[in-house]
Chain A
């Protein structure tokens, strides 16, 4: 089980409080689809994903990004209990959505990069390290129930 120090938790929680989940969620998912176009394979029914502007402006991308990041907010609330918190979602991603867990790592890195664009100097190496640890732990929790 991953252990977060008090400092790491504080770094995560304090930054999260300032995150506009709707805006950031859309940007995170959008960037995933732009930077790693093969991830579009999971979103055949999302309509126009033919260009950077189409993807970033796509309302389904924004809505789904918001959904994903809202779920991530649950991780921030349960940093000591991620495997249980994401057990059901893990099964869902395996059995229903058939998503290769590698994609969770890619998405995690997109979260970090979007946070960096929003928070700049505030996103110090130490803050990045705490968030890096969290996204890795969430990725592992989501992969935990795969079979």
Chain B
């Protein structure tokens, strides 16, 4: 799946509008993931996963920052995400199915906070973008 010029434009516009809320949304998406898909918590057994957890907040910010970087380098995701790709392949080894779960919860979070901007076309572009990011992050798994 290839990101079209329109997709890239939609993603950049949407992410730009999110601005400083990105960290909050990253945190909320994680919270939704843990809540809706309890199996995902197995990767965070060392975290305090209660509502408002500082660890989840910090991790949400981390995820958001990485996505912000990805948006900024949307024309060359493999290079921009190379270090994260190594991390996920050799250290974290999160099963690929979980990237879809987090991506879905990111979409739900954005849909909740920006319903007017979250048109079907923008939704499609973001879904493709998260899919592309997930593909890069799992690209070195085997």
Task: Identify the A interface with B (CB < 8 A).
Answer: 30-31, 34-35, 52, 55-56, 109, 112-114, 116-121, 123, 125-126, 128-129, 132-133
Say which size band chain B's interface belongs to.
20 to 34
B interface list, Cβ under 8 A from A: 28, 31-32, 35-37, 104-105, 107-108, 111-113, 115, 118-121, 123-124, 127
Task: Flag if A35 contacts B115 (CB, 8 Å).
Answer: no
Find chain B residues with CB under 8 A from A120 CB.
112-113, 115
What CA separation (Å) do A84 and B127 show in the bound complex?
34
Can you list 14 pairs linking A and B with CB atoms under 8 Å apart? A31-B120, A35-B127, A52-B120, A55-B120, A109-B104, A113-B107, A113-B123, A114-B111, A116-B111, A116-B115, A123-B108, A125-B32, A125-B35, A128-B108
Specify which chain B residues have a CB less than 8 angstroms from the CB of A121 in the assembled complex: 112
- Chain B residues within 8 Å of A128, by CB: 32, 35-36, 105, 108
Knowing A35-B127, A116-B112, A125-B36 are in contact, say whether A52-B107 is a contact too (CB < 8 A).
no
